[in-house]
Structure 1
């Protein structure tokens, strides 16, 4: 790649789970840390969120465990179509994506990944940054989350 993804930008491991409460408690016990708060995001119309090129509309329970220089994210999707529901239905509990912060190279990295045959699965924007899930699980065993900044 002309714009390689650097190891120094590794920021997250994201797991999709069927039962976020159980997963959060188990991970917290494993690391001997407090059980993380679980945010419950109901479905909302958001023009800044797409799934497979279409506007996305889904709910998600979400928790974050700080793990040194990166985070472990837990995602429990509702039954609506999303990258997380797609993964859970196909694989069950597991690692959905690895997240990388690439700074100003975000568009160049995404472009190169698309040229390599890895389509954007989900794109979301939030104040100050964005996240793009790249569909790479068939080749890499996991999707990629490319972010300009965390």
Structure 2
């Protein structure tokens, strides 16, 4: 396969880990990395018209904590999904705790990168749009062993 729009390593911004118990995982990560404990944000399972999961409007709850590693230029995100269908629940049910995705900032090449990945058979798991950006989880688990989060910017 010839890649016309490669994902730049300089754009690496994120490791996202899905867990069954965010409190226990957060304690372990903070101790391991000697970081202060961040807040755990929680969203409810209301339908979100700005997010899709496998082509349908997403409606799931999530606990999220972000461990910032500014000296390295990336974050470690911990995700604890509720039981509703989502990319995070799908991963947890299939694999248990583990690395769900690696995030890359690709700037203006976002649509080209996502389009090329999709054209080569990688389904879009989740597309989310927010006020100043977007995030797209591309299903690359079977080929790369991990999904990709392609963002125009962090």
Q: Which interval holds the TM-score relative to the shorter structure?
A: over 0.9
Q: CA–CA distance in 1 between the matches of 2:20 and 2:147?
A: 18
1:72-91 CA-to-partner distances (Å, cap 9, x unmatched) read 00000000000000000000
TM-score, reference length from structure 1: 0.98
Matched, 1:136 2:140: yes
SS at match of 2:48: coil
Question: In the TM superposition, what is the alpha-carbon distance from 1:44 to its structure 2 partner?
Answer: 2.0
What is the correspondence of 1:60-75 to structure 2 with a 5 Å cutoff?
A: 60-67=62-69, 68-75=72-79
Q: How many residues align?
A: 150
SS at match of 1:149: coil
1:52-76 CA-to-partner distances (Å, cap 9, x unmatched) read 0011100000000012310000000
What is the correspondence of 1:5-84 to structure 2 with a 5 Å cutoff?
A: 5-67=7-69, 68-84=72-88
Misfit runs of 4+, over 2 Å: none
Question: In the TM superposition, what is the alpha-carbon distance from 1:43 to its structure 2 partner?
Answer: 1.4
Q: CA–CA distance in 1 between the matches of 2:49 and 2:39?
A: 27
Q: CA–CA distance in 2 between the matches of 1:12 and 1:110?
A: 17
Structure 2 unaligned segments of length 5 or more: list them.
none
Question: In the TM superposition, what is the alpha-carbon distance from 1:145 to its structure 2 partner?
Answer: 0.2
Q: CA–CA distance in 2 between the matches of 1:131 and 1:30?
A: 28
Question: In the TM superposition, what is the alpha-carbon distance from 1:45 to its structure 2 partner?
Answer: 2.1
What is the correspondence of 1:90-101 to structure 2 with a 5 Å cutoff?
A: 90-101=94-105
Q: CA–CA distance in 1 between the matches of 2:11 and 2:66?
A: 18
1:21-58 CA-to-partner distances (Å, cap 9, x unmatched) read 00011000001111121001111222110000011100
